[in-house]
Structure 1
Amino acid sequence: MLQRFKNEPAGTPGSAEHAGTSASPGVPAEVTPAPAAGHDSPTAAGPVPVTRVSVAWAGVWAAAVVAVAFIVFMLQNTAGAQVSFLGLHGTLPLAVALLIAMVAGVLLTLVVGTARITQLRRLARPRRR
């Protein structure tokens, strides 16, 4: 089997460009069969590139799985829960109470994160000029 060395330039005998030719007279060369028409192997063309569409497709699938899990959670947690907040009292399904708490936590995180990003941008602005 022929090996290609690190310092060997492309196109020299023994490289991929000269597959099927002999490196020296009288030495049989390694011959690789051509792929069948229409049946290119993934290794022949290299790895499949990651594109925005492929990332979006993966995101859609992840969102669908999370949505299904969320629906199952909502359907399994329909029992009533006593809720008291700022003098208001009431009964809500447990899933709805947890959803409201989650949304409040996300909003609080977004507000604090936005304030921190704004602070860092103001600190970085004089350094740019």
Structure 2
Amino acid sequence: MSEQPPPPPPESPQEPAVEQQQPAEDPLRQSRTGQFWVGLTGFGVVLVLLIIFIAQNTQSVRVSFLSWSGQAPLAVVLLAAVAGAILACAIAGTLRILQLRRRVRRAAKDAKNAG
């Protein structure tokens, strides 16, 4: 007959927890200044591209919108259209955020009244 090894002792809840080592703080971690620098650099690149776009699209075009009509450089017309689209998206997004906030407030109020 072969001998079986004894079962392992049950772990007790009072055993000291293994101390987890916190990683050393990275001296090159992200900072607000670094984030600002990245944003400013990106903005500068976009600005240079925008200046090139405007310089290459100076021909005048006729624009008609509803009862308005006139002539303007192509770059200005295109940039105005982009600005209008961005504004429309911002308005729609703002309205959706307000709608969701109102819905959350109502749900919290209903939960408070029910509980």
TM-score (norm 2): 0.69
The separation in 1 between residues aligned to 2:26 and 2:68, in whole angstroms, is 63
1:71-94 C-alpha deviation (Å, 9 max, x unpaired): 010000000111000122211100
Q: Report the CA distance between 1:127 and its aligned residue.
A: 2.7
Unmatched 5+ stretches in structure 1: 1-7, 11-44
Structure 1 match to 2:70: 90
Structure 2 match to 1:122: 102
Q: Which has the higher helix share?
A: 2
1:48 corresponds to 2:28: yes
1:17-66 C-alpha deviation (Å, 9 max, x unpaired): xxxxxxxxxxxxxxxxxxxxxxxxxxxx8561111110111000000000
Unmatched 5+ stretches in structure 2: 1-17, 110-115
Q: Report the CA distance between 1:128 and its aligned residue.
A: 2.8
Structure 1 segments (4+ residues) deviating >4 Å? none
Q: Report the CA distance between 1:119 and its aligned residue.
A: 0.4
- Across the aligned residues of Structure 1 and Structure 2, the Cα RMSD in angstroms comes to 2.0
The separation in 2 between residues aligned to 1:124 and 1:9, in whole angstroms, is 41
The structure whose RCO (Cα within 8 Å, separation 6+) is larger is 2
TM-score (norm 1): 0.62
Give percent identity, aligned residues only. Answer: 39
1:65 corresponds to 2:34: no
Match of 2:89 among 94, 105, 109: 109
How many residue pairs align between the two structures?
88
